[in-house]
Amino acid sequence: VRTVSLRASALNIFAPHSTRSIEMSAILARAPCKITQTSRRGYTTRTTAAVAPPPLAARRSGSALAQRSSFAASKIGSSFVQTTRTHAPMRSSRMCVEASGDWVLMVNDVAGKMGTAVVEAAQAKGIKIAPYCLTGPKRDPITIGDVTVELFDTSFDRDEVMQRIKKEFPKLMVIDYTVPQCVNLNAELYIKHGIPFVMGTTGGDRDKLLADVKDAGLFAVIAPQMGKQVVAFQAAMKIMGDRFPGAFKGYTLKVTESHQSSKVDTSGTAKAIVASFKDMGIEFEESQIELVRDPKEQVERMHVPEEHLLGHAYHTYELTSPDGLVSFKFEHNVCGRSIYAQGTVDAALCLMSKIDSGSEQTLFNMIEVLESGDMR
């Protein structure tokens, strides 16, 4: 019995996404063999019983997902090593899947609900989490999954803290979900220490934020909306505004957005969609956006499930023709935080990939993250 070891890491070839019969070289002859499939990076490990090579006709028939094998066999003692490549379109998202490598994510602030959700989403993708974070009021360490995070409050010297963490984790990246008043201060800290980051926190002086990061040449993803599917909708509306100016001229617009009562500012997503409608000829000001923050009204009028009153984002855009005979209605309703956490982690993975590949562009938004590859 000979053992054939299939390793995903060999020759930098990605493992196939499904287990299938593999065309064996004549070098293995027709003797029964034991097939062992292994991987270093989370692919399923499977060992089959001793089998005989399939008939030539069966080996040539392939499957619904056509696969060709790049065969590289070398005798090592009494075993062989074979690698297979699935010839599918290779886009940068493929790199994002394996991008984490030696990278470590520091999430500011894990004491918040978004921070916790991001850590859980990152752990689900096998990304290492730094056991430290910056926070506001003094708090005890927090355990999320398999990591206990030490929180450094405002009594600590932030520069010393970041120097210490950067020394321990040279390939450090920060995900920021703090508060609006800390956006610019935190960004200045990351710039000072050369730490790439994903800014999910809304608010702050956005023009200054973008200018500071661009001038510093620091790698970053900055976006007020991290939910990939919502961003895709937002991008589609922008394309409509750019390509069809005046398409809705004369129409009236009503915008209603509902968020948890703790959110006092107007949704950045609603503002962006309104800007696209204005490009399509509608006269409307951001101040006309209706904010629903009363829990009773959210349940009765907006139909928000009670269990999600503390974490939801409901948006409705209604357009009506001048004569009232034609109407359009767009809605995107989100309960919970998983859509934002997953999108944020994907943004971090793609940023890691951009850095590792030596990208000339350093500053990205979420639309560019989506354009870089498949949404997973």
131 vs 120: CA distance, rounded Å: 14
327-357 per-position pLDDT tens digit:
999 999 999 999 999 999 999 999 999 999 9
Sign of the C-alpha dihedral computed for residues 118, 114, 311 and 140 taken in this order: positive
| Cα 157 off chain centre by | 31
Of 69-78, 134-143, 192-201, least confident by mean pLDDT is 69-78
pLDDT band at 31 (very low <50, low <70, confident <90, very high): very low
Phi (first) and psi of residue 210, to 5 degrees = -65, -40
Task: Please give the average per-residue pLDDT across 28-33, as a whole number.
Answer: 38
Starting at the earlier edge strand, list the strands of the sheet with 128-129: 128-129, 104-108, 172-176, 197-199, 220-222, 363-364
Q: Is the peptide bond before 212 cis (omega within 30 degrees of 0)?
A: no
288 vs 325: CA distance, rounded Å: 23
351 vs 362: CA distance, rounded Å: 9
In the prediction, which pLDDT does 100 show?
A: 65
Contact 104, 129 (CB under 8 A): yes
pLDDT band at 218 (very low <50, low <70, confident <90, very high): very high
What's the mean per-residue pLDDT of the chain?
79
SS3 359: coil
Bridge partners, residue 51, by sequence = 33
SS3 371: helix
Buried b (16+ CB within 10 A) or exposed e, 290-302: ebbeeeeebeeeb
In the prediction, which pLDDT does 262 show?
A: 87
Buried b (16+ CB within 10 A) or exposed e, 233-262: bbbebbebbeeeeeebeebebebbbbbbee
SS3 276: helix
Considering 259, 312, 315, 354, which one is annotated as catalytic?
Answer: 259
Provide, rounded to the nearest whole percent, the portion of the chain with pLDDT above 70: 73
pLDDT band at 373 (very low <50, low <70, confident <90, very high): confident
In the prediction, which pLDDT does 203 show?
A: 85
Q: Catalytic residue at 167?
A: no
Task: Please give the average per-residue pLDDT across 109-128, as a whole number.
Answer: 95
In the prediction, which pLDDT does 376 show?
A: 55
In the prediction, which pLDDT does 99 show?
A: 57
Q: Which has the closest alpha carbon to 67: 22, 11, 114, 131? A: 22
In the prediction, which pLDDT does 16 show?
A: 35
Task: Please give the average per-residue pLDDT across 115-119, as a whole number.
Answer: 96
Task: Please give the average per-residue pLDDT across 47-69, as a whole number.
Answer: 37
In the prediction, which pLDDT does 224 show?
A: 85
For the chain, counts of helices (H) and of strands (E): 11, 18
Q: Catalytic residue at 312?
A: no
139-195 per-position pLDDT tens digit:
899 999 999 999 999 899 999 999 999 999 999 999 999 998 999 999 999 999 999
223-276 per-position pLDDT tens digit:
989 999 999 999 999 999 999 999 999 999 999 999 999 888 889 899 999 999
| Cα 179 off chain centre by | 20
In the prediction, which pLDDT does 51 show?
A: 39
Q: How is residue 238 written in tokens?
A: 């922008």
pLDDT band at 74 (very low <50, low <70, confident <90, very high): very low
* DSSP one-letter string for 191-225: HHTT--EEE----S-HHHHHHHHHHHT--EEE-S-
Considering 128, 166, 254, 263, which one is annotated as catalytic?
Answer: 263
123 vs 283: CA distance, rounded Å: 45
Task: Please give the average per-residue pLDDT across 93-119, as a whole number.
Answer: 80
pTM, 2 dp: 0.69
